[in-house]
Structure 1
Amino acid sequence: MSTFFNRACYNKYSRNDIEEWGLMLRKLTLKPDPVEIPGNITAWGYIRVNKPIVGNISLELKLKRYLGFFWLSVPCLKNIGSCTYPDVCELLEDHYNETIGCNENLQAHDIPCTCPFLPGTYTLKPEMFQIPQLKGLWASLAKGDYKADVRLRDTDSNEVIACQHIEFSLTNGFVPTVSPTDKPKCTNILDCLFG
């Protein structure tokens, strides 16, 4: 399955539900495909925010890996895998504090790094991120084909505000060479995932 695939969860929700969601990932492109770990990845796309994203928002990630003849759910281990993150706004706020700051590309295009996310279309121009070498068990298990369902939920109302189905492949990549004058675009997993 060496193709990155992304769509709304149409088979789980009606068309009216989807149109009412607070957030829609309209397009996301990743290159190279499959994604190489470690390696450099270029991402671009756009998100449509229909309602303000603020408050108690949880992120539910259901991750499955293809094992020959069946899809196996990846358990949540050390906040990686099929996990629920109870407060996305707090997670982003903790990550993008005053010392780390927001990614330059996001700032240049007025894309917020923390809540609230106000209504509008947010466009990410092509941006290269460096994916670090995985360590331990993750290094040997990462290569493969994956499916992920990602849901954002307003925990106060229990309303689903976004749902995205993503399919992707990971492969063993090259060790990137970075000259001493180059600054990597991301240095940890949160930087790589959230910019």
Structure 2
Amino acid sequence: MSVGQKGKETSRGPVRLTSFSFKDCGGAGALVNINSLSITPDPVVFPGPLNVATDFKINSPLGQPLKGDLYIAKKVLGKYIKLPCIDNFGSCSYADLCVLLEQVQCPDPIVRIGIDCTCPLKANSYSLPKTEFDVDVSFIPAGDYMARGNITYMGKEGACLELSITLT
């Protein structure tokens, strides 16, 4: 429960992911190609389980420095407004994602498909079967969002992924 206007208690129900689409926006020469990405159930309800499945190919090893840029925007009054980077969340740039990977424990499902979350990332085709993650994003306001993530390695586009989601 939270306190609303004039001290009245308000409660926000679960957040639902009611629309999702993705696009591999990397060009033909991208070092990573994302062939498929699915999220279930439909609709996804947060907090709760989120199932992810994906197939992708790393065409060439990706080492340090692996530069990353993330752009996230929320639709407000019919226009997308960029969310700022606060504490490494939001529209942020990362000088080397390999350094960030060193700070996390690689999830078991990722290790099982052959990625150990350390650089260099090996060239190979990868398939993550439907894998469940428990997610609590009830703090994110309802609305339409778009995100674009780019990875650059040695001046070449490593990967690009665009997502569009609607939370209600």
Secondary structure of the 1:107 match is helix
Q: Distance in 1 between matches of 2:43 and 2:75?
A: 15
TM-score by length of 1: 0.70
Structure 2 unaligned spans of 5+: 1-16
Q: Distance in 2 between matches of 1:57 and 1:19?
A: 19
Secondary structure of the 2:157 match is strand
| Corresponding residue of 1:150 | 149
Q: Does 1:3 align with 2:7?
A: no
Are the structure 2 counterparts of residues 79 and 34 from structure 1 closer, same or farther at C-alpha, using a change threshold of 3 Å?
farther
The CA RMSD measured in Å over matched residues stands at 2.0
Deviation string, structure 1 residues 113-155 (Cα, Å, up to 9, x no partner): 2222111111101111011355xxxx2x43221111110012x
Deviation string, structure 1 residues 47-70 (Cα, Å, up to 9, x no partner): 110010111011100111112311
TM-score by length of 2: 0.81
Deviation string, structure 1 residues 159-187 (Cα, Å, up to 9, x no partner): 2211111111234xxxxxxxxxxxxxxxx
Q: Distance in 2 between matches of 1:37 and 1:163?
A: 26
Whether contact under 8 Å (1:109, 1:124) holds in the other structure is yes
Identity rate of aligned residues, in percent?
A: 27
**Pairwise CA distance, 1:33:** 4.2
Q: Which one of the candidate residues 149, 160, 163 is aligned to 1:163?
A: 160
| Corresponding residue of 1:49 | 58
**Pairwise CA distance, 1:106:** 2.1
**Pairwise CA distance, 1:107:** 2.5
**Pairwise CA distance, 1:35:** 4.1
Letter of the 1:88 partner, please give it.
Answer: L
Q: 1 or 2, which has the higher helix percentage?
A: 1
| Corresponding residue of 1:125 | 129
Letter of the 2:71 partner, please give it.
Answer: K
**Pairwise CA distance, 1:78:** 1.4
Are the structure 2 counterparts of residues 111 and 121 from structure 1 closer, same or farther at C-alpha, using a change threshold of 3 Å?
same
Letter of the 1:92 partner, please give it.
Answer: L
**Pairwise CA distance, 1:94:** 1.1
**Pairwise CA distance, 1:112:** 2.8
**Pairwise CA distance, 1:38:** 1.7
Q: Distance in 2 between matches of 1:143 and 1:27?
A: 26
> Greater CA deviation, 43-52 or 30-39?
30-39
> Greater CA deviation, 27-36 or 60-69?
27-36
| Corresponding residue of 2:31 | 22
Q: Distance in 2 between matches of 1:33 and 1:71?
A: 25
Whether contact under 8 Å (2:146, 2:163) holds in the other structure is yes
Aligned length: 152
Q: 1 or 2, which has the higher strand percentage?
A: 2
Q: Distance in 2 between matches of 1:8 and 1:108?
A: 24
Are the structure 2 counterparts of residues 9 and 124 from structure 1 closer, same or farther at C-alpha, using a change threshold of 3 Å?
same
Letter of the 1:76 partner, please give it.
Answer: C
Are the structure 2 counterparts of residues 37 and 49 from structure 1 closer, same or farther at C-alpha, using a change threshold of 3 Å?
same
